[in-house]
């Protein structure tokens, strides 16, 4: 009997050891399927990329979004393309080994944002201004700039524009922008780069008739870093500016001038590497050419201005309105044909030659102009006005 009891006790002890070993084996097996770590989520061009560290022994992984498994993969990343801009997403990952699945990883949150597009970059007066597209889900934008070497953050803004006032003429600046969502600490991809060479505006632009009244001389100050200058001209009566030349000099002689009295305005723009400065222009500069050794204009004893024109039949003199404004202040004048009504016509201050002959178009200054000057109460100004401003302009037209 004692021998039987001993045998049973030994068997129970062996069974207990075996059971303990089996439980330990199960626990050890379960312990090998650890939950994934290092889970990250990042916006890509077309969606969101979720990545994590490899789990030892795991054969595949389950990606969970919003509590549902949306992908099972053998890789350690997934590109989720079924996302919408501005929407927030929460992701977790589980590792799988055989029939066993680990606990879920820590959750990562991200807001889907597309990268911004820089729409334009413009040089201004001592500044560079950028504008870009607004992105759904973004509540701030970070602006990065480089000249040489690496990028440095220069601003964080909530709007879709930025003005960089820390610029030096002749320096090339390259920018890129990234949008952020502060609530989920999310960021988009960087925008594509945009560059400009900042140039100061051209200063002290002047235009003068040369001494023999055969051309206009334009001059300006040099701009640091500029490789050339574009010169544009507007003639009274024209609709737009016309580009005349590109030059590396700081002066330009305009020989393509009118045969009749007119006035010009010039714009000079500094250029380097395709970038340009802001426009700086001259004031309106009257051009009164000489003709056959004689002036095409003169003043009579009463200080009235006489302008002599030579037109062909059908030709128009469009500069008259502008000259009226130049010599007489704004539109405060009245224009009519006083001689040769069959030779020329006038419509909105534009003189049209109808047939050969001679005519006179009279431009009278409105009394309200003199009244305006007098009302200023400055006797000196009134005296200077009386001496300098023509009360009447006589346009003497010769039609061939």
Q: Where do you find CATH 2.60.40.10 in the chain? A: 40-111, 118-198, 206-287
Q: What is the CATH topology of the domain spanning 206-287? A: Immunoglobulin-like (2.60.40)
- The 10 Å Cβ neighbour count of residue 47 is 14
- Give yes or no for a contact between 329 and 290, defined as CB atoms under 8 angstroms apart: no
Distance CA 320, CA 325 (A): 9
Q: What is the CATH topology of the domain spanning 118-198? A: Immunoglobulin-like (2.60.40)
What pTM was computed for the model?
A: 0.74
Strand, coil or helix: 265: strand
Query: To which H or E segment does residue 398 belong?
Result: strand 392-399
pLDDT tens track, the chain, 400 positions: 555 555 445 544 544 444 444 444 444 444 579 999 999 999 999 999 999 999 999 999 999 999 999 999 999 999 999 999 999 999 999 999 999 999 999 999 999 999 999 999 999 999 999 999 999 999 999 999 999 999 999 999 999 999 999 999 999 999 999 999 999 999 999 999 999 999 999 999 999 998 888 899 999 999 999 999 999 999 887 888 999 999 999 999 999 998 888 889 999 999 999 999 998 888 888 888 877 767 787 888 887 888 888 999 999 988 766 665 555 444 556 788 999 999 999 988 889 999 999 999 988 766 544 444 444 444 444 444 454 455 778 889 999 9
Give all strands of the β-sheet with 392-399 in edge-to-edge order: 297-299, 305-311, 392-399, 357-365, 333-339
Q: What is the predicted pLDDT for the residue at 17?
A: 44
Phi/psi class of residue 329: alpha, beta or left (left: φ > 0; alpha: ψ in -120 to 50)?
A: left
User: What is the b/e burial string over 322-341, where b = at least 16 CB atoms within 10 angstroms of the residue's CB?
Assistant: bbbbbbbbeebbebebeebe
CATH of the domain spanning 40-111? 2.60.40.10
Q: Where do you find CATH 2.60.40.1080 in the chain? A: 296-399
- Give yes or no for a contact between 207 and 285, defined as CB atoms under 8 angstroms apart: yes
Percentage helix, strand, coil, to 5, in the chain?
A: 15, 45, 40
Strand, coil or helix: 212: coil
- The CATH class, in words, for 296-399 is mainly beta
- Bridge-partner residues for 187, per DSSP? 180
């Amino acid at each position: 009997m004692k021998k039987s009891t001993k045998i049973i006790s030994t068997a129970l002890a062996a069974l207990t050891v075996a059971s303990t070993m089996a439980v330990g084996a199960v626990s050890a097996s379960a312990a090998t399927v650890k939950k994934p770590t290092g889970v990250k989520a990042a916006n890509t061009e077309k969606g969101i990329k979720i990545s994590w560290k490899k789990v030892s022994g795991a054969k595949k992984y389950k990606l969970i979004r919003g509590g549902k498994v949306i992908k099972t993969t053998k890789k350690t990343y997934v590109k989720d393309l079924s996302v919408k801009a501005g929407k927030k997403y929460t992701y977790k990952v589980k590792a799988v080994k055989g029939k066993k699945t680990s606990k879920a990883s820590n959750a990562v949150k991200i807001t889907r944002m597309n990268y911004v597009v820089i729409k334009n970059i413009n040089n201004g007066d001592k500044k560079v201004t950028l504008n870009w597209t607004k992105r759904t889900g973004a509540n701030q934008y970070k602006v990065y700039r480089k000249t040489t070497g690496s990028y440095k953050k220069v601003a964080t803004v909530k709007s879709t524009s930025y003005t960089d006032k820390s610029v030096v003429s002749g320096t090339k600046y390259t920018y890129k922008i990234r949008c952020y969502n502060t609530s989920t600490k999310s960021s988009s991809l960087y925008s594509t780069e945009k560059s400009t060479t900042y140039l100061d505006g051209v200063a002290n632009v002047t235009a003068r008739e040369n001494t023999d009244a055969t051309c206009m001389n334009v001059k300006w100050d040099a701009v640091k870093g500029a490789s050339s200058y574009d010169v544009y001209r507007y003639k009274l009566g024209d609709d737009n500016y016309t580009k005349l030349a590109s030059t590396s000099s700081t002066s330009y002689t305009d020989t393509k001038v009118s045969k009749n009295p007119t006035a010009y305005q010039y714009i000079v723009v500094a250029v380097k590497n395709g970038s340009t400065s802001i426009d700086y222009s001259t004031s309106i500069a009257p051009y009164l050419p000489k003709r056959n050794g004689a002036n095409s204009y003169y003043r009579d004893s009463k200080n009235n201005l006489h302008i002599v024109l030579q037109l062909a039949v059908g030709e128009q003199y469009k500069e008259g309105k502008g000259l009226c404004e130049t010599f007489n202040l704004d539109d405060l004048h009245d224009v009519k044909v006083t001689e040769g009504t069959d030779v020329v016509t006038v419509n909105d201050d534009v003189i049209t030659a109808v047939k050969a002959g001679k005519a006179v178009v009279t431009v009278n200054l409105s009394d309200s102009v003199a009244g305006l000057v007098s009302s200023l109460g400055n006797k000196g100004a009134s005296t200077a006005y009386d001496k300098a401003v023509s009360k009447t302009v006589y346009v003497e037209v010769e039609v061939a």
